[in-house]
Homo-oligomer: A and B are copies of this chain.
Amino acid sequence: METTNGDGFGVGWYPVDGPGEPALLRGVGPAWSDANLREVAAATSSPLFLAHIRASTGTAVQQTNCHPFRHENWLWVHNGSIRDFGRLKRDLVLAIDPDLYPSLAGSTDSEVMFHLALTYGLRDRPIVAVERMAGLVESVARAHGVPHPLQMTVATTDGDRIWAFRYSSEGHSRSLFYSTALSALHELYPDDKRLRGLSDETRLVVSEPLGELEGAWQPVPEASWGVIQKGEDELGHFEPAMP
């Protein structure tokens, strides 16, 4: 039983010409009734975008709490939560690089996770940085006696590659899927019109499978990271590490 994701939405997209800084469109109502989202989506082309629909786990429904979060050319979306975030928040925020502190604009665990990952080197070594962020969350939670604190699927991108993560402290994470290689799908469904014109570099990462196409979605294994990039994508084991 999942809650309705009606507590705001967001989409961040990169321009067609080169990487550059992504644009954000975020709203506080349900995505399904947002006229601007439909308008801008229809009028926009982009080689890479992240989209998110939010179900608040307690923090306010406001634009600064809507994903994606952005820092320079980076975007971040998160599905999950930090248990007892209210109790852990101060210690987590204190671990954020003071130079990054002023760019915290909202009140969510997700934005804090992003800024911790930035603190730990997201821009240079994304996988290590996210593993350290997770390690810190688990360490702070342990100090406060909070069990199984982290539940997350995360996607982050610099406009060129996408890193996706699936992890939870209890080893029972929310689902995450990536789309089957287009070359394979083209072979399976040579006549499917929806697949026409999609290049072999097309890849989707989603929390739940979209549509009914048999074989279109591959589950990301428990405790994993993946990289979507030009050429061969990658998949590996995710392991929280002390920062």
Contact = CB atoms under 8 A, between A and B. Distances in A.
Contact of A60 (B44, B64, B89): B64
Q: How many A residues touch the partner, as a band?
A: 35 or more
Given A29-B61, A64-B60, A90 B86 contact: no
A56 interface: yes
A7 B33 CA distance: 7
Contacts of A15: 43
Chain A binding site: helix, strand, loop or mixed by DSSP? mixed
Nearest to A70: B39
Contact of A62 (B4, B42, B63, B102): B63
Interface in A28-84: 28-30, 32-33, 35-36, 39-40, 42-44, 56, 59-64
A112 to B, nearest CB: 13
B24 A39 contact: yes
Contact of A29 (B26, B28, B89): B28
Nearest to A25: B36
